[in-house]
Amino acid sequence: MTILTISSQVLFGHVGNSVADFALRRLGFEVVAVPTVILSNHKGYPDAVGEATPPALLWDHFEALGRRGVLDRLSAVQTGFFASPAQAKTVFDLLDALRSSKPDLPIIIDPVMGDKGRLYVETGLVELFQNAAPELASLITPNAFEAEILAGRPVSGLEDLRSQLQAIGFSAGLVTSAEAMAPDISGRGVFCFDAAETTLVEHRGVAFEREPNGVGDFIAALSTGLYAPGQGLPQRTARICAALVRLLERTQALGLGELALVQAQADWTAALDQADEASGTITRVTKA
């Protein structure tokens, strides 16, 4: 099974495709990783060297993958960081063509736009996510700030968020940092919804002086790798949260500034099959 992942790539560290490529291969998938930018490291450091992939070159990559037969055998597609609206438009054109030829193809869109109240992309990119993504995405994986941006208006809580996102066409979502919209949570939370149900998965928090980058990319990658219409979204979300806790705990124990994605691979893969409250990683699962 082959997954196409389209996102940022760094030479050092673990964000974007530099998370997704390894995580998905570790789950047993063939991965085709197309970079939207190639940087020396993520921008949490004092400097970063690199450049964005021109939209025309992105399209050339897609056409070449088509000639190799890769697009015909895709089992899923995921998208992450876009450097510009023009890049996003090029990728959405590909997704639209794939959706037409393969109507059941899982397309997971992580609408990377900002975090903690700060928007760091152009307004045009926000508008593309709001207007083009709903009919393409099988699942979206925003953080709480990005989810409210997608909603297009302030929301009063998680249920209001779900109602608004589904009203504008997003059929299913997995929203990280959900504790920002659920003040009664003592730890961390991930909110998920689809046509069948809405659920809040609470998990143990892991404290850092500076939280490592790439957590959202890890969640998005596992959301893609575990995507299965026959398995409930709450169950998949709990498995992802359990793996995340184990990854963060190992990262903290090793004193690393980057995710211990490789060093902790045995821990987080094992946790995917230990996702229940008895394991200690998941503190509560409630119907929202």
| pLDDT tens sequence across 249-267 | 999 999 999 999 999 999 9
Residue located via tokens 């939207």: 36
pLDDT, tens digit (0-9, with 9 covering 90-100), for 117-141: 899 999 999 999 999 999 999 999 9
Note the pLDDT of residue 192: 97
Task: Specify the pTM.
Answer: 0.95
Higher pLDDT, 113 or 276: 113
- pLDDT above 80 (res 288): no
Instruction: Identify the band that residue 277 occupies on the pLDDT scale cut at 50, 70 and 90.
Output: low
pLDDT of 282 above 80: no
